Amino acid sequence: MSRVLAIDYGVRRTGIAVTDPLQIIANGLTTVDTPQLLRFLQDYVQREQVERFVVGRPMQTNGAASENLRNVEAFVARLQKAIPSIPVTWWDERYTSVMAHQTMLNSGIGKMARRNKALVDEISACIILQGWMERRL
């Protein structure tokens, strides 16, 4: 089998999570500076088999599109053009940042580490991927 890679797209930084090859476990992979994101993904899919990208769709709590949705859609269009062989699935990312902060708190991570926005983005990507994995079962 091949991996599924989740993307929590941000204007400055983007969190990345990935499954194991058997698609059983979601793990945070890294956080990438967004201007280097497409190059990072192209390099990654050359090294690893990726079956699908799961991209967080930024929505407001009332279900309306968030301000960042246009940026994410533009990125996905570039991604599909650059790597057309890998399909993209959208995933509602509402509350993932809140859930990431709660996860960090529950895990006992110190106050200074919880301020690490890159870690929050990576955990958010992992939450997106875990949600997608649970839904497909």
pLDDT tens digits for range 76-124: 999 999 999 999 999 987 666 666 556 656 666 666 665 657 767 888 8
Domain total for the chain?
A: 1
- pLDDT tens by residue, 39-78: 999 999 999 999 999 999 988 878 777 888 999 999 999 9
What's the domain range around 44? 3-136
- Chain centre to alpha carbon of residue 84: 18
Q: At 7, which CATH number?
A: 3.30.420.140
Could you give phi then psi for residue 79, rounded to 5 degrees?
A: -60, -45
Q: What is the pLDDT of residue 131?
A: 87
**Residue 66 is encoded by which pair of tokens?**
């968030």
H or E element in which residue 89 lies: strand 88-92
Q: What is the pLDDT of residue 28?
A: 92
Return all residues near 6 (Cβ < 8 A) that are at least 6 apart: 16, 17, 18, 26, 53, 54, 55, 56, 91, 125, 126, 128, 129, 132
Name the more confident of 13 and 116. Answer: 13
